[in-house]
Structure 1
Amino acid sequence: MQIVIMVLKFFSHLLFFVILSGSASSACFVDYKAKKNNPLRLHYGVVEINGSQCSLKEAHKLVEIRIAEGDWLLLEVMSLFDENGLEKRKISAGKYFLLY
């Protein structure tokens, strides 16, 4: 009986960590290139999107809408990544890092 209880405790802890790690990894980030005309200005930026919308097609729509608030035109969605890719993009994105 004690073995059964130990096994149940083990699996309940395992389930807890699986659920916890699943919610932590739901963050999704996009890096993109955008432009403004007259005069021509370009920028590279990083945006966070909902993990359930983490596809190139959805990211393109969302980034396009968000950056339009600043009168920017989306040129390219470059990639999708999780929080592990944030630090290496932070300097390149500058003031456009998680701005929109």
Structure 2
Amino acid sequence: MKTILTSLALLLSLALPSAALADCYVGYKAKQDSPLRLHYGVLALPGSCPAPSAAQATAASRLAAGGWTLLTVLSTSGAEPDDQMKANAGEYYLRY
């Protein structure tokens, strides 16, 4: 009976998706030159929030690939952004 329960527990753990690590959401400001354009956005980093310098480096490289320069990281949080943050980020919510 014990082996049946152990096997059943193992089967269920394989069948159900494992709990994914929560994303880290980074709020930032970025710019483009010629002409000057600014935007606020939110990007997601997989897993728990890294050190501020690592979050800044990752955000800077992702934005640079899109032709943007990171100005500042405003916040990092393991909680999903609220509706106001999503609205403020607009088209830049999870774009990078």
Gaps of at least 5 residues in structure 2 are 1-18
The corresponding residue for 2:78 is 82
- Write the mapping of 1:18-97 to structure 2, written as runs, cut at 5 A: 23=19, 26-97=22-93
Once residues 51 and 93 of structure 2 are traced to their aligned partners in structure 1, the CA distance between those partners, rounded to angstroms, is 20
Which stretch has the larger CA shift, 23-32 or 39-48?
Answer: 23-32
Once residues 63 and 94 of structure 2 are traced to their aligned partners in structure 1, the CA distance between those partners, rounded to angstroms, is 11
Retained in 2: the 8 A contact 1:26–1:50? Answer: yes
Retained in 2: the 8 A contact 1:30–1:79? Answer: yes
Query: Deviation at 1:25?
Result: 5.7
Summarize the Cα distance change of 1:96–1:26 in structure 2 as closer, same or farther, 3 Å threshold. Answer: same
Tell me the TM-score normalised to structure 2 length.
0.72
Give the counterpart letter for 2:28 in structure 1.
Y
Note the aligned Cα RMSD (angstroms).
1.7
Aligned residues: 78
Once residues 79 and 49 of structure 2 are traced to their aligned partners in structure 1, the CA distance between those partners, rounded to angstroms, is 15
